[in-house]
């Protein structure tokens, strides 16, 4: 076909114009005309209403729209999934189904709090306590929902059909009451417990985080940490071991003051070798070569043991802060998770600051020591470092160890390290008291139900999501924060007369406290107190525990909480659960998809 000449093009233009189609149409203008027409005509509303729900919703196509955090603007990712959220319901509408499309807002939790802190210029949690929780939560309340207008503009402009008029918000009293009901229901089934466990912890936000929050995208950032190899001096009747330095390797020197044990693998072979400095060192045979610089190419092997033979071997702790306090502390313990892939094959155990560490010491009957406070700062149990934030303390601790001559190697270690998903501070592991959903008790059921989900693409089912479910842990659902649904647990303030009450509705609160709350947020909810019925002296009081819920517990409650189930719409809920269609970006396999499934 010949290339069209100018004259031909000119002719074509004329004939197109003759047909009423402009040569250079303004697409944005055309789009606005369509949008205006839809708005005036009520086309979307009519497309829903014109289709019958059918008996028990048999003609409905149920779409769950994941609630975005209400305090940020939409970004590219929202727009991209937004098209799919629109196309599939439209297709089903064209097939004659009734597809309601209700928008929702995730209003609570750290995203809102961090935004409010920025606006108020707050750096520390204690400043919030000083200004008062009421004032802080007011700031949170006004920081969320300020962009709803922008969201509506973006979503509408991309031609998505969404019902903003009947949106749901996780901060609504009805929504929060349903969340409270969910907590109580899990509690009644024995699926909620309070535990003292090691969790990833943000020392700036002063709260533990869940497994979900530490496995999201962008949480692991590159970070440089000091790595030190330190010798623990063994004391033993066996002269092959007495005075030998058992080498441990750590990238968290700040945990060394809290060292309570050393772990070896029962089946790994350990050797005592003479270093170039004349000292005798104990480490895994497989790791000797990695220390050639300090130990020499082929150091003389003086003795060999299996890990099992080393169990119970005593050593002198490198710091004496917790020396001599517990009979079982400061000895070699066995642990199957120890590897010879890095370090020395002997693991330094500080149970308050390592999840696996604590499992080992729990089994050995060793009590946790916790010299680091909520802000990640050392307290008076370790006087030389008192008042120092743990990462700041690292160089001081290393310098002190070097003075004692127990550091075999000090290097810099580059690794991907978890950071707070909201404030980007490097997290620490820390033993804290927290409330958990006992996910491990019904994990098998979740794996089974996942088989019924039609995943697109299909490999997510047994891959990304299936694997995540198989390895699911108990879910830490409490946050030591301010802006969120309250943990509905009241406890006696006198341990002599213990009592725990869990509430699942406003009616139950009204029954016991004599007032029906109009707002379930802190601090109002904390003002509900009453005398402990189990205390004959009448002195102790029932007070709410201070924590609020993980906001992912709230968004995961969306299918029932959006309609105030079970207090209202019980019948509606029965045939709108589970949904027919959900679409979100694949990171939500660890986020919203997961918490919905739980």
Residues in contact with Zn ion by the rule CB under 5 A: 202, 204-205, 420, 423, 425
> In this structure, are residues 352 and 430 in contact, taking their beta carbons and an 8 Å threshold?
yes
Smallest gap, in angstroms, from Cβ of residue 206 to Zn ion? 8
- C-beta of 429 vs 532, nearer to Zn ion: 429
- C-beta of 81 vs 425, nearer to Zn ion: 425
> In this structure, are residues 573 and 560 in contact, taking their beta carbons and an 8 Å threshold?
yes
418-443 exposure pattern, b = at least 16 Cβ within 10 A, e = fewer: bbbbbeeebbbbbbbebbbbbbeebb
Smallest gap, in angstroms, from Cβ of residue 558 to Zn ion? 25
- C-beta of 201 vs 490, nearer to Zn ion: 201
- C-beta of 5 vs 123, nearer to Zn ion: 123
Rounded Cα gap, residues 491 and 500, in angstroms? 5
- C-beta of 280 vs 481, nearer to Zn ion: 481
Smallest gap, in angstroms, from Cβ of residue 203 to Zn ion? 8
537-574 exposure pattern, b = at least 16 Cβ within 10 A, e = fewer: eeebebbbbebbbbbbbbbbbbbbbbbbbeeeeeeebe
- C-beta of 126 vs 529, nearer to Zn ion: 126
- Helix 110-120 and helix 133-143, axial crossing angle in degrees, nearest 10: 100
At a CB cut-off of 8 Å and minimum separation 6, what does 251 contact? 225, 226, 227, 413, 415
Rounded Cα gap, residues 182 and 191, in angstroms? 11
> In this structure, are residues 235 and 203 in contact, taking their beta carbons and an 8 Å threshold?
no
Smallest gap, in angstroms, from Cβ of residue 209 to Zn ion? 8
Rounded Cα gap, residues 432 and 196, in angstroms? 5
Tokens matching residue 456: 């697109």
3-state secondary structure 96-162: CCECCCEEEEECCCHHHHHHHHHHHCCCCHHHHHHHCHHHHHHHHHHHCCCCHHHHHHHHHHCCCCC
Smallest gap, in angstroms, from Cβ of residue 572 to Zn ion? 38
Tokens matching residue 557: 């409650």
- C-beta of 111 vs 299, nearer to Zn ion: 111
- C-beta of 265 vs 419, nearer to Zn ion: 419
Smallest gap, in angstroms, from Cβ of residue 373 to Zn ion? 16
Tokens matching residue 196: 């003292």
- C-beta of 425 vs 505, nearer to Zn ion: 425
Smallest gap, in angstroms, from Cβ of residue 564 to Zn ion? 32
- C-beta of 197 vs 422, nearer to Zn ion: 422
Smallest gap, in angstroms, from Cβ of residue 465 to Zn ion? 27
- C-beta of 204 vs 245, nearer to Zn ion: 204
**Bridge partners, 269 (sequence order):** 306
Where are any strands of DSSP class E within 493-529? 500-502
Q: 50: burial class by Cβ within 10 Å (0-12, 13-18, 19+)?
A: exposed
Rounded Cα gap, residues 214 and 428, in angstroms? 11
- C-beta of 111 vs 317, nearer to Zn ion: 111
Smallest gap, in angstroms, from Cβ of residue 207 to Zn ion? 8
Rounded Cα gap, residues 248 and 349, in angstroms? 9
Smallest gap, in angstroms, from Cβ of residue 412 to Zn ion? 25
Q: 59: burial class by Cβ within 10 Å (0-12, 13-18, 19+)?
A: middle
Rounded Cα gap, residues 53 and 114, in angstroms? 42
Peptide bond into 566 cis (omega under 30): yes
Smallest gap, in angstroms, from Cβ of residue 521 to Zn ion? 21
Tokens matching residue 587: 């990171």
Smallest gap, in angstroms, from Cβ of residue 419 to Zn ion? 8
Tokens matching residue 550: 């993980």
Smallest gap, in angstroms, from Cβ of residue 221 to Zn ion? 13
Smallest gap, in angstroms, from Cβ of residue 471 to Zn ion? 25
- C-beta of 160 vs 204, nearer to Zn ion: 204
Smallest gap, in angstroms, from Cβ of residue 200 to Zn ion? 10
Longest dimension (CA), the chain: 106
- C-beta of 205 vs 284, nearer to Zn ion: 205
Q: 116: burial class by Cβ within 10 Å (0-12, 13-18, 19+)?
A: buried
H or E element in which residue 282 lies? strand 280-284
- C-beta of 210 vs 361, nearer to Zn ion: 210
> In this structure, are residues 108 and 176 in contact, taking their beta carbons and an 8 Å threshold?
no
Question: Which residue number is nearest to Zn ion in terms of Cβ?
Answer: 420
């Amino acid at each position: 076909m010949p290339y069209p000449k100018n004259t031909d093009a000119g002719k074509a233009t004329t004939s197109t114009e003759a047909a009423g189609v402009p040569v250079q149409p303004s697409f944005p203008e055309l789009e606005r005309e369509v949008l205006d027409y839809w708005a005036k005509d009520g086309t979307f509303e009519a497309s829903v209403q014109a289709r019958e729900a059918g008996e028990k919703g048999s003609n409905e196509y149920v779409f769950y729209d994941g609630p975005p955090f209400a305090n940020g603007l939409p970004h590219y990712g929202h727009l991209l999934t937004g098209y799919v959220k629109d196309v599939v319901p439209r297709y089903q509408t064209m097939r004659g189904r009734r597809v309601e499309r209700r928008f929702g807002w995730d209003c609570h939790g750290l995203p809102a709090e961090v935004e409010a802190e920025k606006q108020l210029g707050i750096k520390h949690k204690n400043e919030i306590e000083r200004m008062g929780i009421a004032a802080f939560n007011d700031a949170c309340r006004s920081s969320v929902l300020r962009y709803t207008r922008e969201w509506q503009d973006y979503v509408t402009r991309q031609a998505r059909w969404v019902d903003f008029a009947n949106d749901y918000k996780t901060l609504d009293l009805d929504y929060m009451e349903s969340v409270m009901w969910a907590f109580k229901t899990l509690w009644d089934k024995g699926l909620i417990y309070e535990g003292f466990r090691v969790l990833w912890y943000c020392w700036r936000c002063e709260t533990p985080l869940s497994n979900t929050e530490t496995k999201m995208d962008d949480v692991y950032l590159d970070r440089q940490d000091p790595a030190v190899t330190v010798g623990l001096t063994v004391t033993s009747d066996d002269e092959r071991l007495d005075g030998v330095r058992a080498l441990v390797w750590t990238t968290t020197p700040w945990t060394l003051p809290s060292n309570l044990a050393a772990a070896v693998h029962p089946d790994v072979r350990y050797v005592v070798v003479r270093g170039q400095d004349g000292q005798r060192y104990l480490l895994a045979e497989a790791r000797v070569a990695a220390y050639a610089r300090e130990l020499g190419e082929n150091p003389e092997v003086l003795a060999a043991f299996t890990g099992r033979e080393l169990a119970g071997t005593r050593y002198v702790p490198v710091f004496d802060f917790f020396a001599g306090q517990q009979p079982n502390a400061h000895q070699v313990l066995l642990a199957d998770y120890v590897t010879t892939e890095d370090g020395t094959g002997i693991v330094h155990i500080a149970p308050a600051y390592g999840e696996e560490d604590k499992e080992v010491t729990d089994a050995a009957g060793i009590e946790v020591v916790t010299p680091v406070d909520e802000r990640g700062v050392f307290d008076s149990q370790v006087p030389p470092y008192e008042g120092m934030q743990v990462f700041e303390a690292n160089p001081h601790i290393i310098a002190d160890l070097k003075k004692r001559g127990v550091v075999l190697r000090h290097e810099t270690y580059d690794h991907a390290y978890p950071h707070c998903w909201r404030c980007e501070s490097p997290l620490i592991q820390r033993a804290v008291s927290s409330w958990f959903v006992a996910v491990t008790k019904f994990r098998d059921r979740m794996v089974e139900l996942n088989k019924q989900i039609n995943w697109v693409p299909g490999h997510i089912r047994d891959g990304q999501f299936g694997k995540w479910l198989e390895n699911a842990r108990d879910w830490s659902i409490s946050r030591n924060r301010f802006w969120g649904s309250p943990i509905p647990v009241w406890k006696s303030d006198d341990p002599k007369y213990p009592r725990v009450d869990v509430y699942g509705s406003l009616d139950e609160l009204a029954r016991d406290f004599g007032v029906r709350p109009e707002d379930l947020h802190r601090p109002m909810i904390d003002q509900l107190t009453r005398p402990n019925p189990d205390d004959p002296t009448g002195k102790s009081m029932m007070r709410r525990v201070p924590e609020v819920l993980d906001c992912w517990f709230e968004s995961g409650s969306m299918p029932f909480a959006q309609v105030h189930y079970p207090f209202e719409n019980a019948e509606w809920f029965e045939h709108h659960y589970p949904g027919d269609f959900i679409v979100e970006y694949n990171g939500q396999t660890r986020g919203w998809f997961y918490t919905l499934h739980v």
